[in-house]
A and B are shown apart, each in its own frame.
Chain A
Amino acid sequence: GAVVSQHPSRVICKSGTSVKIECRSLDFQATTMFWYRQFPKQSLMLMATSNEGSKATYEQGVEKDKFLINHASLTLSTLTVTSAHPEDSSFYICSAEQGVGTYGYTFGSGTRLTVV
């Protein structure tokens, strides 16, 4: 089946530094990938939709300059949290669409970011 690999699974960084999270589709090409964040005991919140070769579409309230998304190939999207602050600590999850109209979304295993 379709597999999405997300790396790293956990990261601790100092306030003010930047962190990059990678999301790879291992056995299929994903023209569209999605980035979510999830706070404890809450549901996933869509942050942005990443389209290969074009700019990401951000949800209302998500700062595009703080959460930089790059989708340079059909199998890789990256999310960079710039100048991280403790309030950015969260669980970040990516997902990839297996094909338009297939209804299939495969999720990565998530990245636990802790900013100290």
Chain B
Amino acid sequence: KNQVEQSPQSLIILEGKNCTLQCNYTVSPFSNLRWYKQDTGRGPVSLTIMTFSENTKSNGRYTATLDADTKQSSLHITASQLSDSASYICVVSCAGNNRKLIWGLGTSLGVNP
């Protein structure tokens, strides 16, 4: 069964600190893996997209890694800011005609001053 699991479910850190969010998936056939940031009451915003051959991608203070062999990904946030408080969702896309997106439940990140 195609699944995406994220950990931790929620996390609170102090402003300025770094954190790493985890994503494990069992999706086949694999096309790409995405990380989205979703603020409360808003639509998701894309942070990174990685295909099978990419093992790291950065977008400002966000760095995503992908290990296609172990089917794991991480999202590292550096020097956190209050505006980083949001839900971070890992999404894996199936290859093939349906290109279905398999959504994780997200990690709720709170950044406190």
**A-to-B contact residues, CB < 8 Å:** 4, 6, 42-46, 91, 93, 95, 103-110, 112
Give the number of residues in B that approach A within 8 Å (Cβ atoms).
20
**B-to-A contact residues, CB < 8 Å:** 31-32, 34, 36, 41-46, 49, 51, 89, 93, 100-101, 103-106
Residues of A within 8 Å of B89, CB to CB, are 43-44
Residues of A within 8 Å of B36, CB to CB, are 107
Checking B31, B43, B49, B100 against A93 with a beta-carbon cut-off of 8 angstroms, the contacting residue is: B43
Interface of A is mostly: strand
State A107–B44 Cα separation when bound (angstroms).
6
Interface of B is mostly: strand
Nearest B residue to A93 via CB reads B43
Residues of B within 8 Å of A44, CB to CB, are 44, 89, 103
Q: Are B45 and A110 in contact (CB under 8 A)?
A: no
Checking B31, B41, B93, B105 against A42 with a beta-carbon cut-off of 8 angstroms, the contacting residue is: B105
Q: Are B32 and A103 in contact (CB under 8 A)?
A: yes
Residues of B within 8 Å of A95, CB to CB, are 43
Subset of 23 A-B contacts with CB under 8 Å: A4-B43, A42-B105, A43-B106, A44-B44, A44-B89, A44-B103, A45-B103, A46-B100, A46-B101, A93-B44, A95-B43, A103-B31, A103-B32, A103-B51, A104-B46, A104-B49, A105-B101, A106-B46, A107-B36, A107-B43, A108-B43, A109-B42, A112-B41
